[in-house]
Structure 1
C-alpha cells in the first residue's frame, strides 16, 4: 500500500496539528464510516450556520468510493445544506443578537458580516447567496445569517440555496462519476478557482446590468 512507503515523519502526529486541521481530518474520516450518508447530511446541515468544514470534504471521498451513489449523495447534500441554510436564516431573522452574533464572533466573521449588512441591499444579498453556494464566497454561514438579518424573502432564499448548492454538488457528482480518482486532484486544486472565476463573472454581469438599466438597489451605504 502507498501508506507503507510514506515516511512516518511525513505525517505529523495529531497533537502537532492545529484545531482546524484536526477538525478537517476528523470530518474526512467520516467518509469511511457505515453511517457516512447520515454524517454527510449532518455536516451539510451544520456548515450553513456554524460548522467550519464544508460538506465537500466528506462528499468527494464518498462519491469516489461509491460512484453509482454519487447523485444520491449530491441530493442528500443539497437538501440538508438548504435545510441548514434555513436554520441559519432563522438565526439571522429571529435571534441575531442572542445566537447569531456570538457564532460569527467565535469564527472571526462578525466584522465581515457587519460590513456586508451595512452595504448589501436585498437583491445583492441574493447574489451573494448564489456565489456562496457555488464557491463558498463569502462563507455560506455568513450569507445565510445575513439573508435572515436583512429579511430576504424566504421563498427566494430557498430557491437560491437549492439552485446554487445543487449545482455545486451535482457538478461534483458528475465529474467524480465520469472521471473517478483521476479528477480528485483537479477538484481539490483547481475546481474552486474555476468556481471563484464563475462567481466573479456573475457578479460583474449583475452589476453591469444594474448600471446599464439604472434599476434596483445595489448598495445601501
Structure 2
C-alpha cells in the first residue's frame, strides 16, 4: 500500500522531470534560441511546459543575453497566441476541441467567453502575465471572435512583462536560483503542479 501511494506521488514528478530535462537540454545547443521561440509558440496553444523553463536555463547560461532571450520568448508566445486564435476561429471543431478535451478545459470556455464580453483586453492580459492557462484564452479568443488587435496588444504587454521580469531577476540572482532548482527539484515540481491547478482555479474565479 505504501509503495502504491509512493508511486502515485512520484510518478507525476518523474514525468515532469523528464519533460523538464528534455526542455532544458536545448539550452546547451546552438539551436537554443530557435527552440525557445518554438516552445514559446506552441505553449500558447497546446504544449504543457511553459517557456519560462527554457528561458531560465538559457538566461542562467548567458546572463548578458537576458533581454534578447526575453524578447525571443515574447515574440514566440505572441505569435503562438495568434495561432491559438486561428485554431479557435477556424479549426475549433477539429483541433480546438481535441486540445480543450485533452486539458479538460471544456467547462472553462463559456466562462472565458462571458469574461470577453465584459473586458477582453483585461482577460487576455491577466492570463498572459499569470499562471492562468494561456491556451484556453487564445483558443477562446478565436472561438468567440474577439478583436485580433486586442489579443495581440494585451498579449505583448502581458507576456513581455512576465518574461522580462523573469529574465531580469535571473540576470541578478541567476546562480542562486539555478542551484536551488537542482537541489529542491521535487519541491519545485510539486509547486509547479500546484501553480498549474491554481491557474485553472484562478481562471474559474476570475471568470465568475
Which TM-score tier does this pair reach, normalised by the shorter chain?
0.7 to 0.9
Structure 1 residue 42, shift from structure 2 partner: 0.3
Kept in 2: contact 1:45–1:85 (CA 8 A): yes
Separation in 1, partners of 2:87, 2:18: 27
Separation in 2, partners of 1:33, 1:39: 9
Kept in 2: contact 1:129–1:160 (CA 8 A): yes
Separation in 1, partners of 2:59, 2:16: 24
Separation in 1, partners of 2:98, 2:163: 29
Report what 1:130 is aligned to: 125
Separation in 1, partners of 2:151, 2:126: 13
Separation in 2, partners of 1:55, 1:145: 18
Structure 1: segments with no counterpart, 5+ residues: 1-14, 208-217
Report what 1:6 is aligned to: none
Correspondence for 2:48 among 35, 48, 52: 52
Structure 1 residue 164, shift from structure 2 partner: 0.3
Structure 2: segments with no counterpart, 5+ residues: 1-10, 182-187
Separation in 2, partners of 1:123, 1:24: 37
Separation in 2, partners of 1:63, 1:144: 27
Report what 2:101 is aligned to: 105
Correspondence for 2:84 among 88, 101, 124: 88
TM alignment of 1:72-87, pairs within 5 A: 72-87=68-83
Residue deviations 1:121-156, cap 9 Å, x none?
A: 33434322112111121x011100111111111111
Separation in 1, partners of 2:14, 2:174: 31
Q: Which runs of 4+ in 1 moved over 6 A?
A: none
Q: Which has the higher contact order (CA 8 A, sep 6+)?
A: 2
Separation in 1, partners of 2:12, 2:168: 37
What's the Cα RMSD here? 2.9
Separation in 1, partners of 2:102, 2:125: 25
Structure 1 residue 68, shift from structure 2 partner: 0.4
Report what 2:18 is aligned to: 22
| Larger Rg belongs to | 1
Correspondence for 1:40 among 24, 30, 36: 36
Kept in 2: contact 1:125–1:143 (CA 8 A): no
TM-score normalized with structure 1 length: 0.72
Higher helix share: 2
Report what 1:169 is aligned to: 163
